[in-house]
Chain A
Amino acid sequence: MAEKEDRGMGGVPLSKPRVIGRIIVLSIGALLVLTPVIWTALTSLKTAQQTLAVPPVWFFVPQWSNYAEVLQLVPFQNYALNTAIVVTGVVVGTLLSCSFSAYGFARLRAPGKNAIFGVLMATMMLPSTVTLVPTYIAFNKIGWLNTFLPLIVPALFGSAFFIFLFRQFYLSIPKEVEEAARIDGAGYFRIWWSIFLPLSMPVIATVMVFTFVGTYNDFFGPLIYLTDESKWTISVALASFGGSPRIGPQLHMLTAGTLIAAAPSIIVFLLAQRYYMTGISVAGVNK
């Protein structure tokens, strides 16, 4: 882990004058990259008239109340609760199913295991558009439309990339760990549950962060499965704000709503970026 952190912070050392030059270049780049977000934040703090002013108003009294107001315009708590249910279900389901299956792929032997693993990895290349229509029809047939089940249940059956991450980690655990437990009479399930799972905290964190952000941001799934407004997640609700007569035409409301909606994934990213970097470098370096 220490080595990985070191790698994450590594890079080419620079001489002093070049450090300043690099910081200037990076600052200009960061300003350009963040301009859309900054502009949105500024707009969200203006009054309705100020948002439409040309030339724009640069100095104004920030209207923090916009944020409280937009939360009043829509049943935001409801969207947040729905999103929390889906995200929690997917995160927990993904962690359990992926670490469970990965233990088999990494530590046990059975005929056909490698072939299955190969096919599983190939599904990472499968565009979701191909499986979409039949999956929708099937969930519709069993009456799961307008429930969270179509969004959560697939997570209980693993996901190729996260199984891969767990497997890579489990492969690196010394065999003695397992053998000692086996001599003590522990079965495979116990070894996975009480030894391998607790050991894999770094991977758990990585998978949690990725799954959280991915599920929180997901739009297509909630859009097709949750047709009733009372079931909407935040991303579906946000997409509807533009057409909403109460929010759509009011830029300060629309931007405040957008930032509130974008905040959770940004916060999770900022808190857990270390795990983000680890996951992404494993993905990139191992292919």
Chain B
Amino acid sequence: MATTTAVGQAPNKASTRHKLSGMRRREAVWCYIFMTPAVLGLLLFAIGPMIASLYLSFTSYDMLSAPEFIGMKNYVKLMADKLFQKSLGVTLLYAVITVPGTLIAGLVAAILLNTKIPTIGFFRSAYYLPSVIGGVAVARVWAMLYNADHGLFNIILSWFGIDGPGWLTDERFALPSLMFMGIWSFGGTMLIYLAGLQSIPKDLYEAAEVDGAGKLRRHWYITIPMLSNVTFFNLVIGIIGALQVFAEPFVLTGGTGNPNNSTLLLPLYLYRTAFTYLEMGYASAIAWVVFAITLVLTALVFRSLPMWVHTEAGED
């Protein structure tokens, strides 16, 4: 600033530049003011807790006495923790089935709903409806359907002379029951696919039809490749979501994750560790393992990207 005025050769030009940089500075100051809530939120509710959680994962802390640094002990304990291994296995299995299941259900529904017919608005709402119902209510609804004695599923099975199992009390069926319930809320995935479908140029299908491609072939060779970026988005969101499912198993099993821990998803195990046993350090270690798994899975999806995501040249 001092130098610009000292030059003094073209006072007019210098003063406009001065004013401009003053305006620029004012703009920057205001920009920071506007960003303040977001930046504070980032520090207070994301980065700060993340660092604190990483630190706590190396401590033993019961909230009564100060955290005691114990190095890698929590992680070593996790490796030998049979219940954790079970919980991890259950969670991965849940994700491996529920995420693709939701994608397929969402895509099929979206293709069926992507048409101009009367009543389509009603159908779109109907298919999305389960997704606005909260996890607790969803669990309540399905607990009734799954009831061994007077639930709807076993009533239907009894029409065919089949004696239905205890869906939630038999170890073999509890987790699949939970998965099926999870796939029921495919509405979000479906709407994202629907938006994606509507951005596919129609002439692609017309050209394929002229070439004599059948319906299934058209979907296989046009719809699925053209939607690959949407699939990618749904996949990432789905993985993150599947590793955070809590309300459903909590309500269905009264917080136990039974029968025989077969529905003990990791968030439930973490909840128990932190809030029932007050092992905050150990719970933080679990949280970081969950986070690491999320990162690894997401990274795998990203890495596999060039193999299956179709990008059109000239697309933004």
* Partner-B contacts on A (CB < 8 A): 7, 9-14, 19, 22-23, 25-27, 29-30, 33-37, 39-40, 43, 51-56, 97-98, 100-101, 103-105, 108-111, 113, 116, 119-120, 123, 125-138, 140, 154, 156-159, 163, 187-189, 192, 213, 216-220, 223-224, 235-236, 238-239, 241-243, 251, 254-255, 258, 261-262, 265-266, 268-270, 273, 276-277, 280-281, 283-285, 287
Q: Check A108 against B27 for contact (C-beta < 8 Å).
A: yes
The residue in chain A whose Cβ has the minimal distance to the Cβ of B109 is: A29
Q: Check B192 against A283 for contact (C-beta < 8 Å).
A: yes
Q: Check A280 against B155 for contact (C-beta < 8 Å).
A: no
- Partner-contacting stretch, out of B13-21, B47-55, B68-76, B95-103: B47-55
* 6 residue pairs from A and B, CB less than 8 Å apart: A11-B116, A125-B236, A127-B294, A130-B287, A132-B274, A273-B125
A7, A11, A43 interface centre (most CB from chain B within 10 Å): A11
Q: Check A261 against B230 for contact (C-beta < 8 Å).
A: no
* Partner-A contacts on B (CB < 8 A): 24, 27-42, 44-50, 52-53, 56, 63, 109, 112-121, 123-130, 132-137, 140-145, 149-150, 152, 155, 158, 184, 188, 191-199, 202, 205, 229-230, 233-234, 236, 240, 243-244, 246-247, 250-251, 254, 266-267, 270-271, 274-275, 280, 283-284, 287-288, 290-291, 294, 298
Q: Check A19 against B117 for contact (C-beta < 8 Å).
A: yes
Q: Check A255 against B198 for contact (C-beta < 8 Å).
A: no
Known contacts A120-B42, A135-B49: A219-B135 contact under CB 8 Å: yes
In the bound complex, CA of A236 to CA of B150 (Å): 26
Residues of chain A contacted by B251 (CB below 8 angstroms)? 239, 242
The residue in chain B whose Cβ has the minimal distance to the Cβ of A16 is: B117
Name B198's contact: one of A10, A52, A258, A280 (CB within 8 Å): A10
In the bound complex, CA of A71 to CA of B90 (Å): 37
The residue in chain A whose Cβ has the minimal distance to the Cβ of B274 is: A133
Known contacts A101-B35, A130-B288, A219-B134: A243-B244 contact under CB 8 Å: no
In the bound complex, CA of A110 to CA of B33 (Å): 11
The residue in chain A whose Cβ has the minimal distance to the Cβ of B275 is: A224
A33, A103, A238 interface centre (most CB from chain B within 10 Å): A33
Name B37's contact: one of A157, A188, A273 (CB within 8 Å): A157
Residues of chain B contacted by A287 (CB below 8 angstroms)? 229, 233
Q: Check A127 against B143 for contact (C-beta < 8 Å).
A: no
In the bound complex, CA of A11 to CA of B244 (Å): 34
Residues of chain B contacted by A97 (CB below 8 angstroms)? 37-38, 41
Q: Check B56 against A134 for contact (C-beta < 8 Å).
A: yes
In the bound complex, CA of A251 to CA of B141 (Å): 11
Q: Check A33 against B184 for contact (C-beta < 8 Å).
A: yes
The residue in chain A whose Cβ has the minimal distance to the Cβ of B293 is: A127
Name A29's contact: one of B117, B127, B246, B247 (CB within 8 Å): B127
Q: Check A129 against B134 for contact (C-beta < 8 Å).
A: no
Q: Check B116 against A12 for contact (C-beta < 8 Å).
A: yes
The residue in chain A whose Cβ has the minimal distance to the Cβ of B40 is: A157
Q: Check B117 against A277 for contact (C-beta < 8 Å).
A: no
The residue in chain A whose Cβ has the minimal distance to the Cβ of B24 is: A109
Residues of chain B contacted by A159 (CB below 8 angstroms)? 41
